[in-house]
């Protein structure tokens, strides 16, 4: 018998009351799971990504193992970039590495246009498969223009985004051209995911917190506004997330999105005090998952108490799960979030 569909995550995205607080984790599929490591010993990252059956299996792992209330498509924010002519490899212990970083306007003019059906058909196939297999909502996702540009310009992960910021400030017109191209790609990619069956979308602007509020408002906010405005008509909840971006939270609150994902630097209560009205998602520091259970429980309780002040809260980490975390710890946390929020519901 198939289990009844669990729609708590979607309800919470829409700011509706749920009997318990739904939970999922960023990077809930990954190296902390022995099953994931086993699959990755046979295939490269992109080999997993490109095979719908395998990608769907990896996506389902945390749903079956942890009992989370949402699944997130197994892919990467880099997945669509090769179709634009950007050569990406995922290197173990590093992350995405790009052989031909963007240096000038000519490189931007050469970028291709993403045609999802032709370029990334495996993404849509994976989504369709998962919709038959899952009884929780499936989250589709993509990288935001700034974060994608940071990899494309730096050539890989960066600490300070110096080249990216220098590019932006040196020639704002050319920068705008790059943002527009990446925004068009993001809209096409995420629209195709929704059409294939993704039931919510999270946009990762992971590294945009490197910018000042002024620069964000001038160079990034208009393009993010356009991306979300174009996706809004598709009718699925939209989630915005970034790391170290507490100073941008009021700007985000003005974007046409449903949910804001917080990292651990700003509490739910502080965000509310700053005037943030949207549904919130977050925000346990993933490093705490290596601390004794009593500390994890204390902090999770505090987050839940603050989150449940308003209907519609989604429990998550402040950033992705990392390889050293034990599966049992994440299982216990998931159970705790469900039980505590059920007992203390309003």
Site residues, ligand 1CP (CB under 6 A): 26-31, 40, 45, 72, 74, 76-77, 90, 95-96, 141, 157, 204, 206, 243, 320
Query: Between residues 157 and 172, which has the closer beta carbon with respect to ligand 1CP?
Result: 157
Three-state secondary structure along 75-98? Answer: CCCCCCHHHHCCCEEEECCCEEEE
Residues with Cβ within 8 Å of residue 19, at least 6 apart in sequence:
8, 342, 345
Nearer to ligand 1CP, 82 or 320 (CB): 320
Q: Are 239 and 258 in contact (CB under 8 A)?
A: yes
Beta pairing partners, 140 = 201
Residue of 32, 151, 219, 340 marked active site = 151
CB atoms < 10 A from the CB of 169, how many?
A: 11
Shortest approach of ligand 1CP to residue 16 CB, angstroms?
24
Q: Does residue 131 have an active-site annotation?
A: no
| Number of CB atoms found within 10 A of residue 225's CB | 16
**Annotated catalytic residue 345:** no
Q: Which is nearer to ligand 1CP, 36 or 175 (CB)?
A: 36
Write out the two tokens for 134: 């899952």
Residue 153: Cβ within 10 Å count: 23
Is 265 annotated as catalytic? no
Rounded to the nearest whole angstrom, what is the least distance from the CB of residue 219 to ligand 1CP in the complex? 19
**Least separation, in Å, of the C-beta of 265 and ligand 1CP?**
14
Q: How far is the CB of 86 from ligand 1CP (least distance, A)?
A: 13
Give the residue from 278, 318, 313 showing the smallest Cα distance to 299.
Answer: 318
Dihedral (C-alpha) 163, 143, 246, 278: value to the nearest 10 degrees? 160
Closer to ligand 1CP by Cβ: residue 74 or 189: 74
Beta carbon nearer to ligand 1CP, 61 or 308? 61
Q: Is 180 annotated in the active site?
A: no
Distances (CA, A) of 241 to 96, 206, 283, 295, 345: 19, 7, 11, 25, 26
Q: How far is the CB of 66 from ligand 1CP (least distance, A)?
A: 11
Which residue's Cβ lies closest to ligand 1CP? 95
Dihedral angle computed from the Cα positions of residues 48, 144, 282 and 20, in that order, rounded to the nearest 10 degrees: -70
Both structure tokens of 42: 């046979």
> How near is the Cβ of 96 to ligand 1CP at its closest, in Å?
5
Nearer to ligand 1CP by C-beta: 91 or 195?
A: 91
Q: Write out the DSSP string of 195-251.
A: HHT--EEEEE-TTGGGS-HHHIIIIIHHHHHHHHHHHHTT-S-EEEE-SS-GGGHHH
Smallest gap from Cβ 292 to ligand 1CP, in A, equals 26
Provide the 3-class DSSP secondary structure of residue 10. helix
Given 7, 76, 258, 263, the catalytic residue: 76
Measured from the CB atom, the residue of 185 and 308 that comes closer to ligand 1CP is: 185
Adjacent-strand bridge partners of 91: 95
- Active site positions, annotated: 27, 31, 40, 76, 151
């Amino acid at each position: 018998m198939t289990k009844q569909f669990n729609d708590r995550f979607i309800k919470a995205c829409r700011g509706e009351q749920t009997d318990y607080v739904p939970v999922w984790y960023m990077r809930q599929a990954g190296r902390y799971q022995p099953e994931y490591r086993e699959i990755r010993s046979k295939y490269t990252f992109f080999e997993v990504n490109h095979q719908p059956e395998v990608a769907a299996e990896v996506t389902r792992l945390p749903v079956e193992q942890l009992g989370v209330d949402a699944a997130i498509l197994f892919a990467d924010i880099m997945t669509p970039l090769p179709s634009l002519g950007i050569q990406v490899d995922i290197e173990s212990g590093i992350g995405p590495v790009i052989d031909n970083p963007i240096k000038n306007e000519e490189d931007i003019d050469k970028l291709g246009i993403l045609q999802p059906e032709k370029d990334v058909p495996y993404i849509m196939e994976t989504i369709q498969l998962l919709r038959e297999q899952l009884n929780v909502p499936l989250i589709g996702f993509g990288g935001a223009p700034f974060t994608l540009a940071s990899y494309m310009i730096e050539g890989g992960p960066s600490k300070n985004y110096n080249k990216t910021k220098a590019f932006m400030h040196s020639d704002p017109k050319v920068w705008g051209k790059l943002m527009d191209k990446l925004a068009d790609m993001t809209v096409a990619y995420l629209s195709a995911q929704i059409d294939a069956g993704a039931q919510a979308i999270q946009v990762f602007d992971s590294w945009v917190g490197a910018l000042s509020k002024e620069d964000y408002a001038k160079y990034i906010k208009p393009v993010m506004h356009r991306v979300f405005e174009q996706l809004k008509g598709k009718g699925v909840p939209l989630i915005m997330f970034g790391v170290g971006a507490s100073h941008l939270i009021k700007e985000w609150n003005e974007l046409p999105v449903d949910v804001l994902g917080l990292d651990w630097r700003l509490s739910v209560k502080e965000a509310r005090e700053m005037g943030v009205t949207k549904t919130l998602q977050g925000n346990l520091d993933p490093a705490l998952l290596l601390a004794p259970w009593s500390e994890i429980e204390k902090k999770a309780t505090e987050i839940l108490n603050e989150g449940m002040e308003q209907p519609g809260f989604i429990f998550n980490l402040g950033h992705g799960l990392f390889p050293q975390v034990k599966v049992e710890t994440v299982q216990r946390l998931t159970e705790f979030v469900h039980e505590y929020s059920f007992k203390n519901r309003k």
